[in-house]
Structure 1
Amino acid sequence: MQVTTSSGKYSAKHYPDTIREWKKEGNYFYFYTSETILEVRIISDKIVRFRYAADGKFQRDFSYAVSDRLEESPVNFGLREFEEAFELYTDALRVFIARDDMRLTITDPDGRIINQDEMGFHWQYYLQKGGKIVYCSKQIQEGERFYGMGDKPTDLNLFDKRIENYGTDAYGYQKDTDPLYRNIPFYYGLHKGMGYGIFFDNTFRTIFDFGKEREGTTSFWARGGEMNYYFIYGPELMKVAEAYTSITGTPELPPLWALGYQQCRWSYYPDKRVKEIAAEFRKREIPCDVIHLDIDYMEGFRCFTWSKEGFPEPAKMIKELADQGFKIVVIIDPGIKVDPEYGIYQQGTQQDYFCKRADGALMEGDVWPGKCVFPDYTNPEVRKWWAGLFKELVEMGVKGVWNDMNEPAVFEMGTFPEDVRHNYDGDAVSHRKAHNIYGHLMSKATAAGMRKFLMPNRPFVISRSCYAGAQRWSSLWTGDNVSSWDHLWLASIQCQRLAISGISFAGSDIGGFIGEPDGELYLRWIQLAVFHPLMRTHSASNETGFNQEPFSFGPEFEVLNKKFIQLRYQLLPYIYTTFRQYSKYGTPMLRPLSFVAQHDEKTLDRSHEFMMGDSLLVTHVSEPGMKAKELYLPEGQWYYYFNDQVYTGAQLITIPTPLDEMPLFVKAGAVIPNYDKIQYVEQRELSEEMILHVYYSDQIVSSSLYEDAGDHYGYKNGSYNDIRFKQTSDKQHFELRKKFFGQYKAAYKRHNVQVHGLPFKATQYVVDGKTFKLNNSNFAGGIVKIVVERNFETLVIK
């Protein structure tokens, strides 16, 4: 029975009734009630998809998020029937489906509840807009925490929060602003040491409630589409993260230069100013690889054009900068100026590639060029056309593209009206369904074009808006933030949250986009950004003409900013190795403490500290004038980076925070590869040494170093090196073993091994069986330094 509410917007809610029959088709199971069908797909022993047909008919099974490389790997699974429930089983899970109402209970093989429906799946007709609103509610388990959901600017633990996914141009957002630019409907639950994830693959406006509306209940729903979600069991949170990325896809390796420092401003104009900025970096010997060009490089803000006055010879300028080691990244927005003399507008209108309103009129709205129309990126023909537009930019020497305003943002309306129509890859829909994937598909088409025309080199794309799975082709930044200490904290939270939501290649506008930071705030932001995969300064135009470069804050801060940007470049081999781990396995590059020590209750609500890769623990200085900071170290032994003092973990400690230091720790036993000082990544080829910082431990500890050419696809054909280290030492003996896999010919010939923290007085070392005496030149500040050939296999110090 349907009952219309007083508002007339919604019908009464519908719930599944008794299951009448079931059937099995391969690894799919179907359960039928009088009007609802539940499809359960066993993807692996720890991944199960639940998909509901509310009124007996499934919609097209199509996703812009799921990777075409997702592999089904169920081995041992089946179904058992009981009087009150069906039991689906795998080696790792038990899924109980109640016969009378279809509610789910998911346990491990020992019967411990991992996740349990409260009301479970239900739905109602959306009378005002059409279609159905689909819901699912779950019970919150005792002590349960929730994480994920992209870069929501709120506490890391989402308990007692209600959040929404509807891509929004959130200029100057603050803590708890919602919605934001990005739309990633994926969260983690953790209780009693058991971690799981739920990915709700629905592109309509979605809402998630983690006990805010009703105590003891978490729920998620969408204003259209299907209830279609993936359940992922760990029990380790890191395994959940990797499994989620196996569903939504892993990224290719970026060009190594994209992991260097990037400088941006709205706007560097004209070309003379761009060259001046580049010259300042090189003169002051502050490392930098990338300069971004904001909208003013275009002719009247028309995409794919160059200002005749400001940039009359763009190819010449780009070549001059390339000779100095700089790459140029240009901004491209979706708004195409309405101008009959403008070639892109002509092509799009002739081929009917722009979005239309419900009555057939073009979707028009004001953005930077004035009145604009907008490509329908949900149409595969439009994506192909858009990709082709990057040919000329690449031929001029452009190496990367920055997609902005793609929520989509429209000045007078905020975004597109809901009646705008989209192709949706052959399934004509309204903007209600396409809104959250508009920017996602724009960046996908951009990346396809850049990849095609840059081949054999790798592209770099950065986007403001996206949906789940964008990591396959794009990096992100956190949007139009503010120059404040609160936003420095938000930058740390947002990048951690993005990393565990599948998108590690992300960063914030260093120093804040809106406003003017002082030297201290900018320095502390630089220090944090050293450990964000994307490291870019960006700032807005302002009346004072203030410039936000590392050398803009006076000599004292210039020296300190330079020191930490140099640290970034020294750590690039470690960061690139961590990116390769992410690319291959889906492992987040940034890891909240709860993800590396989930059985330690004291880590579960910590947000300031995080791991960058396997071996570096970082937190940021979070207040002006801060002299010391309290932080929590997980279990184990940890070296303070700046003086090698060793701390025992599983406790709170306090670290002094002078301006020239930050709270940075190295896990005992780790090998941290370093480049020598360079100004841009191509200079690494000039060095004949790779530095290995090794931190003594009496435990067996493994580390790795990944290397390849850094800017082409040879690594996919085996042109790479995967170097494995194992430290096996005791109180009187240090031993480092190395195994080498690969066929890439690196430029350097030697390793400069620098051993920290030896607990004994060393007198000799042995390399592959040959003994050498240590002399004064091997010792410096408590560190033992030994230069060995690159192909060494065993180093012993005693």
Structure 2
Amino acid sequence: MQITSSSSKYSVKHYPDSVRKWQKEGNYFYFHTAETILEVRIISDKIVRFRFAADGKFQRDFSYALSEKLEESPVNFGIREFEEVFEIYTDAIRIWVARDNLRLTITDTEGRVINQDEMGFHWQHYLLKGGKIVYCSKQIQEGECFYGLGDKPTDMNLRGKRLENYGTDAYGFQKDTDPLYRNIPFYYGLHHGIGYGIFFDNTFRTLFDFGHERDDVCSFWARGGEMNYYFMYGPDLLQVAEAYTKITGTAELPPLWALGYQQCRWSYYPDKRVMEIAAEFRKRQIPCDVIHLDIDYMEGFRCFTWSKEGFSDPVKLGRDLSAQGFKMVVIIDPGIKSDPDYDIYKQGMERDYFCKRADGALMEGDVWPGKCVFPDYTNPEVREWWSNLFKELVESGVRGVWNDMNEPAVFEMGTFPEDVRHDYDGEDVSHRKAHNVYGHLMSKATAAGLRKYLMPNRPFVITRSCYAGAQRWASVWTGDNVSEWEHLWLANVQCQRLAVSGISFAGSDIGGFIGEPDGELYTRWIQLATFHPLMRTHSASNETGFNQEPWSFGSKYEFIVKRFIQLRYRLLPYLYTTFWQYSHHGTPMLRPLAFVAQQDPQTYNRSHEFMLGDALLISHVDGPGVKEKEVYLPAGRWYYFFNDQVFEGGQTVTIPTPLDEMPLFVKAGAVVPNYPGIQYVGERPIDEMILNVYYCEQPTASMLYEDAGDHYGYKDGQFNTIRYKQVSDKQQFRLKKRFFGQYQASYKKYRVLVHGLPFKPTEYVVDGKAYKLNARNFAVGVVKVMVERKFEELILR
């Protein structure tokens, strides 16, 4: 053991000494020093877990983050001994363990450094709280950039930042506010074109320093628990993202309607007002699928109740909304009112399900209902009880639940005191360990309840707080933002960051929750949110009674807002396909430019531009009165969406930004599927699928995924994956289709719109049969043909 000290009374740090012995047990390697043990677990050729027992004894190997489907798949791995190091090898990487101090260096098979310890693992006693503070420090490589960590409202590249994970109700947060609501201890490193990731699976308060204290050192530490982290090698950043979801789990497909537009306010009250809002959407023919009910729908803010005065017949409300094509989503908070006449309170008290302080007294605090108690969601019995409480809500017509205030937030106190005790699935721990998973487990229990009672339909859950892996059951929103232009920029960055941190199903409160946007800000926010997986307007009540519905700002803005919501609905098959890629492979739906062009240093610090899926590149307008905007396009050819102008990538271009447009580009060669216009999902059977195909001289591939959209038949093979390949030249356009699947879609035809042909064709050929083109087949810059759904090849020549 090596010890260093300084003037700080808590600065005595302990470091491992030399390796005394080592052993191999299957795909686990153990290295023993005088006190510390290092465990190296080979999960795959690119995924490795490092775990340290500071005093020679490992803690319980347990995690709320890990996927139950995580499978070890190492093929060729082993160990070699050298005088100064051990070398653990796989087909993709080499792990070098120093004999004298357990410091780690990870290289690729050609010897290039991917990640390297500085001081590596070390620890100190946490004299104020008990236990140990565990540290790990790494060398920052030349030019290294860092990404990830969930919802941090700061620059995309985290280099030079110091950040913290401790779920916090950050009402009205601003740029660089830290910590925020979510706790995702996962980050990426990128240097010399090489990408990797580190997931520090520790639920205590965790901190990350990306060269803030020392510009050449990256470090992460926790005020309790173990040093237990997963290393993921790309080398592509998107491969790292997929590896992370291999560890923490992929999302289930949501109901398709959850990808539609959603309307919310604190609060739509009473039920008559809810129906007025619904009727106005249909009257104005603005597409919408969901109306949310905030806390005022309850009786005295008591969870799982309905206001007798304002919502006297919730079953009728649910039925009436459904008849107009709306789904009803209700808010549920963790605070249970202390009321002996309240059935939920009585059940929890009788079963001893509420959190307690260290001395055995109930954890009590004021929230919306007044004095409240709080379920201990870390107890599996409590989670099961909680899930059963959703039966009556579902029977009332509720189709989704929105979990709020679950950091947990408590008025005046901020959150729970650290002495609150938790079951933690049988471990009995303090709130220090459970805080960062409290909302995570609440939303897990909520999702379990909805899944149980909505079957065979799919659940929809949105949560404010969570831990790594919540993508398996919940979506998120960025929290209580403000109606300011800076918050539009923050929404853009936060949703990108959440996507690459495993949680693609994310959005922001469109227009801002706090304050009142003007029509321009609201319109620009709608434009950005059109390309966020979760699209919901939400705002707070205020003295003026101002509302944020799409028609609230006058006809000029309503027309543009309606146009973009309609675009969202046309793009639903593309969006759903992108969600399938995320669900099936773990590929982020939103992709920062560095994640799609990591060999291009121009992309490393950019956040204005991002991609949604494989084909669409977006750059929103984030200031008032902006007439034009510079946009960086990565290598390739790009079509400007609104007029099909073609731009070469690898450069910055200047794009006009009239209020009814935003910088939106389509990648050359893409096939972008569209629906015809609909007001809500399921309004009518889709009678044709529109394929927008963008000409490219290079061979390109695209796909369409489809299923019923709202049950689990897809898990039994009731889905289709349709793959398109474009192989064209300057004289001929050719689109090939391959169909895989068993789902019987309602449409029988494709309307194919070919953009950007460099020649004017005279005929089209479908599976070998030629047809003449006439004037009806041509529009400005577009060739239009109708083909049967079963076609295999389309040629224009």
Aligned-partner Cα distance in 2 for 1:401–1:671: 35
Q: Which residue of 2 aligns with 1:161?
A: 161
- Write the letter of the residue equivalent to 1:387: S
| Paired position in structure 2 for 1:723 | 722
Structure 1 residues 240-251: aligned runs within 5 Å: 240-251=240-251
The equivalent of 2:710 in structure 1 is: 711
Q: Partners in 2 of 1:670 and 1:513 — Cα distance?
A: 36
Q: Say whether residues 1:687 and 2:686 are aligned partners.
A: yes
Residue 353 (1) aligns with residue 353 (2): yes
Corresponding letter in the other structure for 1:731: K
Task: Tell whether the 8 Å contact from 2:765 to 2:771 is kept in structure 1 after alignment.
Answer: yes
Q: How does 1:300-315 map to 2 (within 5 A)?
A: 300-315=300-315
User: How far apart in 1 are the matches of 2:109 and 2:795?
Assistant: 46
The aligned residue for residue 591 of structure 1 is: 591
Q: What do the CA deviations read for 1:710-741 (whole angstroms, capped 9, x no partner)?
A: 00000000001110000000000000000000
Instruction: Classify the secondary structure of the residue corresponding to 1:124.
Output: strand
Q: How far off its partner does 1:687 sit?
A: 3.1
Distance in 1 between residues matched to 2:709 and 2:83, nearest whole Å: 60
Q: Name the structure 2 match of 1:753.
A: 752
Instruction: Map residues 330-369 of structure 1 onto 2, 5 A cutoff.
Output: 330-369=330-369
Partner Cα separation in structure 2 for residue 326 and residue 526 of structure 1? 20
What's the counterpart of residue 793 of structure 1?
792
Q: 1:681 is paired with a residue of what secondary structure?
A: coil
Q: Which amino acid aligns with 1:743?
A: Q
Equivalent residue of 2:395, what SS?
A: helix
Q: Quote the residue 1:208 is aligned against.
A: 208
What CA deviation, in whole Å up to 9, does each residue of 1:605-636 have, x standing for no partner? Answer: 11100000000000100110000000100000
Q: Please give the alpha-carbon distance, in whole angstroms, between the structure 1 residues aligned to 2:113 and 2:216.
A: 15
- Mapping 1:58-137, distance limit 5 Å: 58-137=58-137
> Which letter maps to 2:32?
Y
Deviations 1:2-52 (A, max 9, x none): 7998765x3611000010100000000000000000000000000010000
1:141 and 1:257 map into 2 onto residues whose CA distance is: 45
Tell me, yes or no, if the aligned pair for 1:752 and 1:786 is still in contact at 8 Å: yes
**Match of 1:384, SS?**
helix
For 2:529, give the aligned amino acid. A
The 3-state SS of whatever aligns with 1:329 is strand
Counterpart secondary structure, 2:440: helix
- The residue type equivalent to 1:541 in the other structure is S
* One-letter code aligned to 2:464: R
**Whole-angstrom CA distance in 1 between matches of 2:201 and 2:672:** 38
Q: Are residue 662 (structure 1) and residue 659 (structure 2) matched?
A: no
Structure 1's 417 and 5: CA in aligned 2 closer, same or farther, altered over 3 A?
A: farther
Matches within 5 A, 1:758-777: 758-777=757-776
Counterpart residue number, 1:734: 733
What pairs up with 1:304-703 in 2 under 5 angstroms? Answer: 304-683=304-683, 685-703=684-702
The number of residue pairs the alignment matches comes to: 796
Give, in angstroms, the shift of residue 529 of structure 1.
0.3
Runs of 4 or more, structure 1, over 4 Å off, are 1-8
Deviation track 1:308-337 (CA, whole Å, cap 9, x = no partner) reads 000000110110010000000000000000
Aligned-pair CA distance for 1:415: 0.1
Matched residues in 1 for 2:714 and 2:788: separation?
24
Q: Which amino acid aligns with 1:498?
A: L
Structure 2 match to 1:190: 190
SS at match of 1:582: helix
Quick check: 2:4–2:14 contact (8 Å CA) kept in 1? no
Is the Cα contact below 8 Å between 1:125 and 1:132 reproduced in 2? yes
Report the alpha carbon displacement of residue 215 of structure 1 after superposing the two structures with TM. Answer: 1.9
Q: Give, in whole Å, the separation in 1 of the partners of 2:175 and 2:600.
A: 27
Identical-residue share of aligned pairs (%): 78
1:145–1:189 CA contact under 8 A, matched in 2? yes
SS in 1 for 2:398: coil
Contact 2:5-2:13 within 8 A present in 1 as well: no
Q: CA deviation at 1:516?
A: 0.4
In 2, distance between residues paired with 1:164 and 1:134? 15
SS of residue in 2 equivalent to 1:676: coil
Task: Determine helix, strand or coil for the equivalent of 2:682.
Answer: helix
Q: Structure 1, residues 539-571: CA drift from partner, whole Å, max 9, x if none?
A: 000110001011100000000000000000000
CA distance in 2, matches of 1:115, 1:442: 36
Q: Mean alpha-carbon deviation: is it higher for 775-784 or for 496-505?
A: 775-784
Question: d(CA) in 1 for partners of 2:734 and 2:700?
Answer: 11
**Code of the aligned partner of 2:717:** G
Structure 2 stretches lacking a partner, 5+ long: none
CA distance in 2, matches of 1:296, 1:633: 46
CA contact (8 A) 2:139 2:217 kept: yes
8 Å contact 1:639–1:646 — kept in the other structure? yes
Deviation at 1:686, TM superposition (A): 2.8
Q: Is the 8 A contact 1:728 1:734 kept in 2?
A: yes
Match for residue 235 of structure 1?
235
What's the offset of the Cα at 1:486?
Answer: 0.3
**C-alpha distance in 1 between matches for 2:656 and 2:781:** 21
Contact 1:11 1:126 in 2 (8 A): no
**Contact conserved, 1:496 with 1:591, CA < 8 A, in 2?**
yes
User: What SS does the corresponding residue of 2:277 show, helix, strand or coil?
Assistant: helix
Q: What residue identity is the alignment partner of 2:690?
A: I
Where 2:13 maps in the other structure, the secondary structure is coil
Helix, strand or coil for the counterpart of 1:611? strand
Q: Cα 1:38–1:369, aligned 2, differ >3 Å: closer, same or farther?
A: same
- Taking the aligned partners of 2:211 and 2:8, their CA distance within structure 1 comes to 26
> AA paired with 2:781?
G
Contact 1:124 1:132 (8 Å CA) reproduced: yes
Deviation at 1:780, TM superposition (A): 1.3
Deviation at 1:214, TM superposition (A): 1.2
Please list the CA deviations of residues 649-681 of structure 1 after superposition, one character each: whole Å capped at 9, or x if unmatched. 000000000011110000001000000110001
Corresponding residue for residue 783 of structure 1: 782
State how far apart, in whole Å, the 1-side matches of 2:461 and 2:701 are: 33
Q: Counterpart of 2:15 in structure 1: which amino acid?
A: Y
The residue that corresponds to 1:150 in the other structure is: 150
| Change in CA separation of 1:499 and 1:3 when aligned onto 2, cut-off 3 Å | closer
The TM-score, its normalising length taken from structure 2, stands at 0.99
Distance in 2 between the 1:251 and 1:215 partners? 36
Residues 206 and 221 in structure 1, CA contact (< 8 A), matched pair in contact too: yes
Tell me how far apart the structure 2 counterparts of residues 190 and 293 of structure 1 sit (CA, whole Å): 43
CA distance in 2, matches of 1:27, 1:163: 34
Q: Distance in 1 between matches of 2:522 and 2:218?
A: 39
AA partner of residue 279 (structure 1): A
- Find the residue that maps to 1:399 and give its secondary structure: strand
Q: Is the 8 A contact 1:418 1:432 kept in 2?
A: yes
Cα distance 1:36–1:275, how it changes in 2: closer, same or farther (>3 A)? same
1: CA distance, partners of 2:649 / 2:6: 57
Q: In the alignment, which residue of structure 2 is the partner of 1:296? A: 296
For each residue in 1:558-601, what CA deviation from the matched residue of structure 2 results, as whole angstroms up to 9, or x when unmatched? 00000000000000000000000000000000000000000011
User: Displacement of 1:781 after TM fit?
Assistant: 1.5
Deviations 1:232-280 (A, max 9, x none): 0000000000000100000110000000000000000000000000000
Q: Deviations over 1:755-794 (max 9, x none)?
A: 0001001110000111100001111112111011111110
Q: Is the 8 A contact 1:11 1:127 kept in 2?
A: no
Query: Take 1:679 and 1:164, find their aligned partners in 2: how far apart are those partners?
Result: 43
C-alpha contact 2:551 2:558 (8 A) present in aligned 1: yes
Structure 2 counterpart of 1:12, one-letter code = V
Letter in 2 for 1:453: Y
